[in-house]
């Protein structure tokens, strides 16, 4: 079975016995969120980051970049998991510490967990009715703008019902396009209050009509209403009447998502 890059990063990290924080530290990164984003597939690593992770994990960069075929069933049928790990360590584990090698062998020799009961999988409200929506620590300003983080932290995910959202009038195509961010400031009050969580659709990366958008302008991140003003400009509008509207150039405005719902159940 083919593996994607983010799946290989996660598999090799777990095989090395490292946590996301430990891998980030070994690579010289300040936050484990960079590893989390790479493993979730929400951000593509640079070649320099791939090289750093490969060194920390004791593998070649090619092993991260390339999807190598799995051994044939006939070649592995007579081998135990521990035998396969020993063979892998003999070929590619020379850069690992003796402690890491021992952890890998110990994990391979442990008995596997029994399969989960079928009735447990059939519980209602798990598949189809409720999904997890990632909550990112992105503060988009409803005022003077916020400088976006290079690697936003993920906060606790939120469990929602797509069916219930649609009943409330929220329109979206795929639930995995939905994310949560945080409004910051008072310029969108009373529609959006300071620190209100906002449900956004990250698949909308261009202007699709008047509405509230998450966008960057002059290297700052905003949450404002946008209206088209001719071909060259948007009108950036605050719901708070104390904040006058501004004209901004379309070419300097980069839409990141459209705001669908304030998490106080205020449909926008």
pLDDT tens for the chain, residues 1 to 268: 467 888 889 989 998 888 888 898 888 888 788 888 888 887 878 777 888 898 889 887 767 766 544 444 444 444 455 565 566 556 555 555 666 566 656 655 555 444 333 223 333 334 456 777 777 766 555 555 444 554 455 566 778 888 888 888 899 888 888 888 887 778 888 888 888 888 999 888 899 999 999 888 877 788 899 999 998 999 999 999 888 999 999 988 888 889 999 876 556 6
> Is 115 a domain residue?
no
Whether 164 is in a domain gets the answer yes
Q: Which domain holds residue 33?
A: 5-109
CATH number of the domain residue 22 falls in: 1.10.260.40
181/38 Cα distance (integer angstroms) = 19
Q: Which of 109, 142, 176 is the last residue of a domain?
A: 109
* Entry pTM: 0.50
Judge if 65 and 140 occupy the same domain: no
Chain centroid to CA 100: 28
Do residue 137 and residue 235 come from a single domain? yes
How far is C-alpha 265 from the geometric centre of its chain's CA atoms? 24
Query: Could you tell me if residue 23 is inside a domain?
Result: yes
The rounded distance, in Å, linking the Cα atoms of 81 and 229 is 64
**Do 246 and 149 fall into the same domain?**
yes
Q: Domain total for the chain?
A: 2
Is residue 116 a part of any domain in this protein?
no
């Amino acid at each position: 079975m083919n593996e994607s890059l983010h799946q290989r990063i996660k598999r090799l990290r777990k095989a090395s016995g490292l946590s996301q924080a430990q891998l980030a530290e070994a690579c010289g990164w300040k936050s484990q969120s960079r590893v989390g984003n790479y493993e979730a597939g929400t951000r593509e690593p640079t070649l320099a980051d791939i090289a750093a992770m490969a060194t920390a994990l004791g593998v070649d960069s090619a092993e991260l970049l390339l999807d190598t075929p799995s051994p044939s069933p006939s070649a592995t049928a007579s081998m135990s998991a521990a035998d396969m790990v020993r063979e892998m360590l003999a070929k590619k584990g020379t850069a690992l510490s003796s402690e890491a090698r021992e952890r890998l062998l110990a994990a391979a020799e442990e008995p596997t967990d029994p399969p989960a009961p079928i009735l447990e999988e059939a519980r209602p409200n798990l598949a189809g009715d409720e999904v997890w929506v990632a909550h990112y620590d992105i503060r988009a300003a409803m005022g003077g703008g916020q400088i976006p983080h290079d690697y936003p932290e993920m906060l606790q995910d939120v469990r929602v019902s797509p069916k219930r959202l649609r009943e409330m009038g929220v329109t979206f195509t795929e639930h995995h396009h939905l994310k949560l961010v945080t409004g910051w400031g008072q310029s969108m009050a009373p529609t959006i209050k300071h620190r209100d969580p906002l449900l956004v659709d990250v698949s909308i990366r261009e202007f699709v009509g008047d509405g509230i958008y998450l966008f960057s302008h002059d290297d700052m991140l905003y949450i404002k209403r946008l209206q088209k003003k001719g071909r060259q400009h948007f009108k950036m509008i605050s719901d708070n009447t104390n904040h006058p509207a501004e004209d901004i150039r379309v070419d300097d405005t980069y839409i990141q998502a459209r705001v669908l719902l304030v998490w106080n159940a205020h449909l926008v």
